[in-house]
Structure 1
Amino acid sequence: MNLSTRAKNSLVFNTEDESERDENGLFRHRDTYNASMQFSAILRTLTGECQLALTQWMHAFDALHRRTRANMSVQETVSTSVLWLGYTVLYTLFARDFSKGEMGYDVYAQDFDNALSHALVAIRHHHRHSSQQQNRQQMFSLGLGIMSSLYFVAIKCRHRSVKDMALYALSAAPLQEGLWNRDSAFLMTRVLVEMEEKFRIPGTVGPEGIPVEARIIGVNFC
């Protein structure tokens, strides 16, 4: 998966007429949409390999989960829900059609909704366990964590009800998770959601209501 991602990035970000980094050693800002269109077939092959690896891993994980879930502790249940959430986010990230840009996420509204169900299970068990222990326990994560995954769902899913649920879940997340602070992450995510929503076509709730030109591609923190 790492090799596939590096190959994909070399196609999307490299150009022949300029160096990859500027005079200060920083990556240049590039519009990736045209590159994604030009190399759409190759990108689909690369991301397809990542998608296959994730699917095979998830099948193995699901088989193990079915055998052990009856005897799981609270912490193991939380960890399992976080893994399901992380898998859904990764799968969506690699499986989408890069040639469609931000519109490629629209077909995964149901997957985003399922991911939120796992997030809410993890959050509920986390707070229940924390109240019993009389302290704030840190959430289990494999790099992504729950807050970063909820942020991804909120800004990439353009279905209004799913975005609202992602914001609610983020507001109820653990106070601190690695470098992610719940309150600041919630405020930042809400601002980005509202930036897109003000351009929503009246009377729509689905992703078709957010025009392509109104969609946020990325955020540059200066």
Structure 2
Amino acid sequence: MYAPTAKESSPQENLTDSRRQLFEISDTCIRFIGEASLKAAMFQIDFDTLVEQVKLQTRLDAWCDQLHELIDRMQAAGNPAKRDALNLLLIHYKVIYIWMRVCTTAGESATDSYYTDFEELVHYAEQITKPGVGMATPQPLSFDMQILGPLYYTALKCRHPAIRRRALEMLQLAPRREGLWNGHYAYVTAKRVIELEERHLNGQELPDETSRLHGLPLPDDTSRIYNLGKVPFGFRKFNHSIVPSPAYPGTLEAVFQTKPWGLLGEWQNFTEYIKL
């Protein structure tokens, strides 16, 4: 099983050190998720993949334990952690925590086991984006917040109607641009995914597996973050394509994939033009 190195097992010095360590772990996790997700979609997950998954989960959990030890030390020293900085760390920890645990499963409903974690992620984000803290309206630019990716993932992948709508609401409140992310593209895409998945429901039920949109539909290439060393939520495009449409100005051309005949059935593709 996984054995931490001396560097990894040493106490975190401060929140900056915690952030650096989390980003290093997240980089490795995201690369694994990309490979494992493709295997899962083809039902080719093997024993070695599961072993590596457990190793990375253990490494991530060890980071979280060390973070709480750091928080206790800072509190005892009369220098409590800055709340926004801590919330940002926990937001990114939670999204990687969930994603790592479902990436070896083909079914989109695997995330149902993590409603509590999604709720915590959204709660941490609300502490940053809630009105009255300078984020009541979308901000024009931010390179530091880095919450669009986790909120986008939550809105797409969490089937709980209330939680995913809280994430969607915060996508509106989050910065208009976050590094290379386009917040408005993320918002309108997530909003349309929810509409499609829940179009036959009454607002309280959960969308079934056959109505789920697979993969991670992303905004156009210029709205994605590629530098995994700095941002832990730089994921790949998987099975979707979303780009501004030259044929229909003012829209995003989105190609979605579903499996309406079950996980072993054929893919069904369809294209939509999402109004910006």
Q: Which residue of 2 aligns with 1:91?
A: 97
Of residues 133, 142, 155 in structure 2, which corresponds to 1:128?
133
Q: Which residue of 1 aligns with 2:208?
A: 211
Partners in 2 of 1:80 and 1:167 — Cα distance? 22
Partners in 1 of 2:103 and 2:195 — Cα distance? 25
1:140 and 2:150 are equivalent in the alignment: no
Question: Is the CA contact (8 Å cut-off) linking 1:79 and 1:140 kept in structure 2?
Answer: no
Q: Flag the structure with higher helix content.
A: 1
Cα distance 1:40–1:108, how it changes in 2: closer, same or farther (>3 A)?
A: farther
1:185 and 2:186 are equivalent in the alignment: yes
Task: Give the TM-score, by structure 1 length.
Answer: 0.72
Question: Is the CA contact (8 Å cut-off) linking 1:196 and 1:215 kept in structure 2?
Answer: yes
Describe the SS at the equivalent of 1:38.
coil
For residue 94 of structure 1, report the CA deviation from its aligned partner.
Answer: 0.6
* Structure 2 runs not aligned, ≥5 long: 1-24, 218-240, 244-276
The AA in structure 2 aligned to 1:58 is C
Q: Which residue of 1 aligns with 2:73?
A: 67
1:50 and 2:56 are equivalent in the alignment: yes
Cα distance 1:159–1:175, how it changes in 2: closer, same or farther (>3 A)?
A: same
Q: How many residues align?
A: 190
Of residues 41, 62, 66 in structure 2, which corresponds to 1:33?
41
The AA in structure 2 aligned to 1:59 is D
Cα distance 1:101–1:42, how it changes in 2: closer, same or farther (>3 A)?
A: farther
* Structure 1 runs not aligned, ≥5 long: 15-31
Q: Which residue of 2 aligns with 1:77?
A: 83
Q: Which residue of 2 aligns with 1:157?
A: 158
Q: Flag the structure with higher strand content.
A: 2
Calculate the aligned-residue CA RMSD, in Å. 3.0
Per-residue deviation, residues 36-76 of structure 1 (Å, max 9, x unmatched)? x3325433222111111110011111211233356357xx3
The AA in structure 2 aligned to 1:111 is D
Question: Is the CA contact (8 Å cut-off) linking 2:102 and 2:110 kept in structure 1?
Answer: yes
* Large movers: runs of 4+ above 4 Å: 1-14
Of residues 242, 246, 251 in structure 2, which corresponds to 1:221?
242
